[in-house]
Structure 1
Amino acid sequence: MSSRSTGAGILVALLSAATFATSGPFAKSLLETGWTPGSVVFLRIAGAALLLAVPTVRALGGRWGLLRRGWRQVVAYGVAAVAVPQLAFFYAVQHLSVGVALLLEYLGLVLVVAWQCLAARRLPRLPTVIGIVLAMVGLVLVLDVFGSVRVDGVGVVWGLIAALGLASYFLLSGHVAEEPLPPLVLAGGGLVVGAVTFAFLGATGVLPMSFEVRSVSLAGASLPWWMAVLELAAIAAAMAYIAGIVAARVLGAKLASFVGLSEVMFAVLFAWLLLGELPRPVQLVGGLFILAGVIAVRTEELGGPVDVAVPPSAVEPGLTLGVAAHRDVPGGGGRSDRAGSR
């Protein structure tokens, strides 16, 4: 993988992280008017599935056999990468402080590295170990978990389940089969599965849902509720998931997961811009630690083989934001107020 393709892939990964991070302020604006996290998550995922329905069919281009052969990956993505992290995070924050729940969820980064090391039957290299340490220290500082902290055994279990879901998000996004599903098809199909899952959980009462039609407040302005829902569906879900799949296929699951940590920094930024919640200096320092962790992992990618090679059909040219134009690897190959961002 060339430096130009990796650089473009990192930009797409940052786009995914930034769009995921917008869910916080918009979800909070709905929660403050009486919505439940379950209702926010359901409309976010269901709305994204509806928005991507026609583009997904067009991306298939009549290749229904491709979908029949790849349906297991679509179902796994919808359940493990879309539904599980959000549902587990929803239950985790009922027992834990939001910062602690997020910290547990982002242990998924470590699980990605562990899985790839097990698959390759080798220990992680020193740059990756350093990157993990730096990134986790940065995450602790950005989340400011040393404030008012609640810890509960049940919440910890749910947080670790969320971590498994987040790891699944990066691993399934970066998985490239011999006949890979286009990113739009994987995202669109997975969101349909996720929407059906949340609809079932809501109908059975497992996931309480309450909806309101009152205006919401953002950045000092009053907006209709449907605008917040539209942003969550179109930007924080549809665009975020597609960009995440593209980034994982170009960068590999490991590097994409490290760059994905920037979501917490974007979340702090958007909370400041849209909700007036000023970041503390310690959070800015934490952002620098996360950046250092990404750089450490990137040095290993420069010095050795990457964990995925992207065949020409794995990434749609119209969705790569220029990544495909720079790719030079031949065929191969083997993620509260956020209301659960992944």
Structure 2
Amino acid sequence: MTTTLDRASRVGAARVGTIMALTSAATFGSSGAMGKALIETGWTAGAAVLVRLGGAALVLGVAAAISLRGRLRLRAASLRTVLVYGVVAMAGAQLAFFNAVRTLDVGVALLLEFLAPVLLLLWSSLRTRTLPAPATMAGAALTLVGLALVLELTSATSVDLTGVAWGLAAAVCLGVFFVLSEREHDDLPPLVMAAGGTAVGALVIAAAGAIGIVPLAFATLDTSLADATVSWLVPAAWLVLVSTVAAYLTGIGAVLRLRVRTASFVALTEVLFAVLFAWLLLAELPGPSQLLGGICIVTGIVVVRRTESARPSRPAATSLDTVPTA
């Protein structure tokens, strides 16, 4: 009887975890469309990131304070992790992604960012001077074929190289996030990681804007979403409350109920949600070759992750089981 109840409890937790993982992927996937809506009304990428991180830091900070009630004691190493996480994974990744969507389709920009596992694989191979498993190399090759299709390198259509560079920069930042997240930090709860990272990221963007490194320009003009005219407050509030706060909270809940590897694979649906939101809200849909390329990239990443996760021993930097975020 007890075994049956335990099994039912595990099944129920897995079901709830899967729903939370899909919700997290969907809410994260909506950020590109909302950010681009603001940018098209005159906002800079830095301004969109500042509002997103600053607003989320306030909400997540309050949630963390209520949840922990002063019981948190952090080591110096954990504080350094939060600092690097905020600078690179929060400020860096999101600034690069929002700069990429200025000139690229949202789905294309996110696919470029999702190349992070392949970049990590390449870095690990160069650092250790060892070749990956044949299946891993096949998965990596499939992502490169997909990249060529996404960027339409075989056609006469020109692609914005600056946008591509920003998308690849976002992938590098996401790679750093993978490396940081796979380390053990028993005194660093996920909610504190998210709250601290958004706070550090917001401070970095604000400081960079104050000294002129990152342009910060805001606008109060109405914007267009799904052929409807709405206040700029709608995408701004959505970025903070849905694409960041709700996304992180449901993502944390998913990881607590699912194995990290399972949650990370469900998180790949973020690409599909990003394309769907861009189509519904911005009338932006990749062409047939780009959609095929997207399928190749996601399939290649799945192959790489499965193969590398199954290996009995691998360097820390090749851990690809962390849930990606955008």
Q: TM-score, normalised by structure 1?
A: 0.72
Partner of residue 58 from structure 1, selected from 62, 66, 78: 66
- Change in CA separation of 1:207 and 1:166 when aligned onto 2, cut-off 3 Å: same
Residue 41 of structure 2: which of 33, 42, 50 is its match? 33
Displacement of 1:245: 6.4
1:220-251 residue CA offsets vs partner (Å, 9 max, x unmatched): 22222212111111222223345566778943
Q: Does 1:206 align with 2:213?
A: yes
In the alignment, what sits opposite 1:223?
A: 230
1-side partners of 2:169 and 2:71: how far apart? 35
Q: Which residue does the alignment assign to 2:159?
A: 149
**Residue 251 of structure 1: which of 228, 243, 260 is its match?**
260
Alignment map for 1:233-272 (pairs within 5 Å) = 233-242=240-249, 250-251=259-260, 256=264, 262-272=269-279
Aligned partner of residue 74 in structure 2, secondary structure: helix
CA contact (8 A) 2:24 2:251 kept: yes
1:10 is displaced (CA, Å) by 7.5
The answer to whether the Cα contact below 8 Å between 1:261 and 1:290 also exists between their aligned partners in 2 is no
Residue type at the aligned position of 1:176? E
Find out whether 1:281 has 2:291 as its counterpart.
no
Question: Which residue matches 2:7?
Answer: none
Q: Within 2, Cα distance between the matches of 1:110 and 1:142?
A: 16
Does 1:80 find its partner at 2:76? no
What secondary structure, in the 3-state scheme, does the structure 1 residue paired with 2:48 have?
helix
* Structure-to-structure mapping, 1:318-333, within 5 angstroms: none
Structure 2 residue aligned with 1:338 = none
- In the alignment, what sits opposite 1:134? 142
1:300 matched to 2:297? no
Distance 1:149 1:158, change over 3 A: closer
Counterpart CA distance in 2 for 1:15 and 1:139 is: 27
Contact 1:56 / 1:184 at 8 angstroms: preserved in 2? yes
Alignment partners' CA distance in 1, 2:142 and 2:125: 19
Amino acid corresponding to residue 31 of structure 1 in structure 2: I
Q: Is the 8 A contact 2:135 2:307 kept in 1?
A: yes
Partner secondary structure for residue 42 of structure 2: coil
Percent identity over the alignment is: 46
Q: Would you say how many aligned residue pairs link Structure 1 and Structure 2? A: 306
Find out whether 1:188 has 2:198 as its counterpart. Answer: no
Which residue of structure 2 aligns with residue 162 of structure 1?
170
Letter in 2 for 1:112: L
Residues 103 and 279 of structure 1, relative CA distance in 2, 3 Å threshold: closer
Amino acid aligned to 1:227: V
Report if aligned partners of 1:27, 1:40 keep a CA contact under 8 Å in 2: yes
Is contact 1:59–1:185 with CA below 8 Å preserved after alignment?
A: no
Superposition CA RMSD, Å? 4.1
Aligned pair 1:109/2:109, yes or no?
no
Residues 88-112 of structure 1, C-alpha deviations (whole Å, 9 max, x = no match): 4566788x86798766644422232
Task: State the distance in 2 between where 1:106 and 1:161 align.
Answer: 11
Counterpart AA for 2:260: L
**Partners of 2:269 and 2:144 in 1: CA distance:** 12
Mapping of 1:14-25 within 5 angstroms?
15-25=23-33
Q: Is the 8 A contact 2:82 2:196 kept in 1?
A: yes
CA–CA distance in structure 2, aligned partners of residues 167 and 10 of structure 1: 24
Q: In 2 relative to 1, CA 91–226 (structure 1 residues): closer, same or farther, beyond 3 Å?
A: closer
Give the AA of the match of 1:128.
Answer: T
In 1, Cα distance between equivalents of 2:165 and 2:305 = 31
Structure 2 CA distance for aligned equivalents of residues 171 and 192 of structure 1? 20
How far 1:292 sits from its partner (Å)? 2.7
Q: Which amino acid aligns with 1:251?
A: V
Task: Verify the 8 A CA contact 1:142 1:265 in the aligned structure 2.
Answer: no
**SS of alignment partner, residue 138 of structure 2:** helix
Q: 1:72 to 1:6 in 2, by over 3 A?
A: farther
1:37-52 equivalent positions in 2, closer than 5 A? 37-52=45-60
TM-score (norm. length: structure 2): 0.75
- In structure 2, C-alpha distance between the alignment counterparts of 1:106 and 1:288, rounded to whole Å: 12
Output the CA distance in 2 between the equivalents of 1:13 and 1:111: 24
**Separation in 2, partners of 1:10, 1:73:** 28
Deviations, residues 5-40 of structure 1 (Å, cap 9, x unaligned): 999877766544432221122122222222222211
